[in-house]
Structure 1
Amino acid sequence: MVPHLRLWLIALWASSVAGAVVIAGLVLGHYEWATFLWAAAIGLAVGLPAALLNWAYLRPRRAREVGLLGQAPPDRG
């Protein structure tokens, strides 16, 4: 099974960080291809751990709402 939430979070975080680094590099006047390589490296180095931490924060909350294996939690009446 492919963990869709993790894949989406990694893609969003890594591309957001890389985009911010590219913008910062271009604003500072670095108009060479190395700017994009550095942005990709920093995007992965910062975005991957951030996405996994974000996933770890979101996943237990969802598991409490949905229950084990997608089943509804039992009523505690």
Structure 2
Amino acid sequence: MFPHLRIWLIAIWTSSVAGAAVILGLALGHYDVATFLWAVAAGLLIGVPAALLNWAYLRPRRASAVGVLGQAPPDKSVAPVVKR
């Protein structure tokens, strides 16, 4: 199974952090290639761990809401039927 949530979170976090670093560098007046290389490094070093922590935070909630295999969890308010 392909980890869609993880891939999307990593892409969003890394691009957001790298974009913020580029904006900061350009606002400070650094108009060279090194600004973009530092932004890539910051995006990877900060964005990937942040995305994985965010995934670890979101995944248990989804797994408990959907169920292990995508099935709804059993309703605990209904008493189980006992066959004799």
Classify the TM-score, shorter chain.
over 0.9
Alignment correspondent of 2:39? 39
Alignment correspondent of 2:81? none
Q: Distance in 2 between matches of 1:3 and 1:26?
A: 34
Task: Give the percent of matched residue pairs that are identical in Structure 1 and Structure 2.
Answer: 75
Aligned-residue CA RMSD (Å): 0.5
TM superposition shift of 1:65:
0.5
String of CA shifts for 1:8-59, please: whole Å, max 9, x gaps: 0000000000000000000000000010011001101000000000000000
Q: Secondary structure at the match of 2:46?
A: helix
Alignment correspondent of 1:10? 10
Runs of 4+ in 1 over 4 A off after TM superposition: none
Q: Secondary structure at the match of 1:5?
A: helix
Q: How many residues align?
A: 77
The structure with the largest alpha-carbon Rg is 2
- Structure 2: stretches of 5+ with no match in the other structure: 79-84
Q: Distance in 2 between matches of 1:33 and 1:66?
A: 46
Q: Which has the higher helix share?
A: 1
